[in-house]
Amino acid sequence: MMRALGICWIGAAVVLSAIGPAAADDSTPSPDPSTYTLRYKFRAGETIRWEVLQQTRIRTTVSGTTQVADMVSKSVKAWRVTDVAPDGTAELQNLIESVDMRQQFSGQQEVRYNSQTDEKPVPGFEHVAESIGVPLSEITMNARGEILSRRRHAVKAAAQNDDGLLTIPLPEAPIAVGHTWSLPFEIEVPLENGTVKKVKTLQSFKLAGVKTGVATIEMGTQILTPIHDPAIEAKLIQREQSGTVRFDLDAGRVLSQQMDLDRRVVGFVPNNAASSFHYLNRFTETLLGDESKTAARPRTAGGTARE
């Protein structure tokens, strides 16, 4: 099981698919009457890059034996924009340009792979190496972050990081600080008997604040389907992240995000009530290039992001 969980940024264990459009929920009105329009903005021909860092520790205890897996991956994710329609709908390619990753299991030597310096990948990282610089998918996305179409390329499944929520869905109307909205999702969890269990979840978002043109969005995941099987809970853990996103209102893109998760499941092995599964993870993403805001800049009245 540790081997299957080794490459944490790949994450193909469960499939996440949207089952409805982003819906704005009623929330307590903000005392600040200002409202903001959140939209993604792209230019045909540009390539947008983020540095992605994921640090994971998985600690399992079964029949009195504890094993620990430590995994760290640093990669550069890129969106290559091929076309933009007048309404802001963009066609783009999603790819990984480079990766530097390491993993270590209890009692074993650490294994590393750096796509920029290693001529050949070490055993177990071959599919990762094959995916570097190759478009994982071609995506059509509107200005609110809704995925209108997604065509996956024939990349080995183990090397893809292209399932699930690729963007933060944005509200249709201008919103004030304090406003909340949500997006229902359905997760398909593969079971040991070969069947699939569908689990309903809700991604919730809140505009926590706006300062010098940067919106802070808080997000979290709520599992709606009652889960009484610890084995299924352990498989769902990776989807229960919560954290904060910083969104540049003028540039129309995510500046950074950080998601943290610290969850423990007891009894995840059938007929072994003392077994435990502890998943500790931090995921950060930071925009690279000139688009990144490294310092606050003054805002002028009537800016394009304010209504």
Q: How confident is the model at residue 16 (pLDDT cuts 50, 70, 90)?
A: very low
pLDDT in tens, 286-300: 999 754 343 333 333
From the list 258, 238, 9, the residue with the least C-alpha distance to 113 is 9
Q: Let me know if 268 is exposed, middle or buried by CB neighbors in 10 A (0-12, 13-18, 19+).
A: buried
For residue 8, pLDDT over 80 is answered with no
pLDDT in tens, 59-82: 999 998 999 999 999 999 999 999
Selected residue with higher pLDDT from 32 and 54: 54
- CB neighbours of 123 closer than 8 A, spacing ≥ 6? none
Selected residue with higher pLDDT from 192 and 178: 178
pLDDT at 290: 52
Q: What mean pLDDT, rounded, does the chain reach?
A: 83
- CB neighbours of 152 closer than 8 A, spacing ≥ 6? 136, 137, 160, 162
Segment among 17-26, 127-136, 208-217 with least mean pLDDT: 17-26
Contact 26, 189 (CB under 8 A): no
Domain boundaries, the chain: 15-288
Name the CATH topology of 15-288: Lipovitellin-phosvitin complex; beta-sheet shell regions (2.30.230)
Distance CA 303, CA 300 (A): 6
For residue 301, pLDDT over 60 is answered with no
- CB neighbours of 48 closer than 8 A, spacing ≥ 6? 42, 78, 79, 81, 253, 287, 289, 291
pLDDT at 205: 97
pLDDT in tens, 137-147: 999 999 999 99
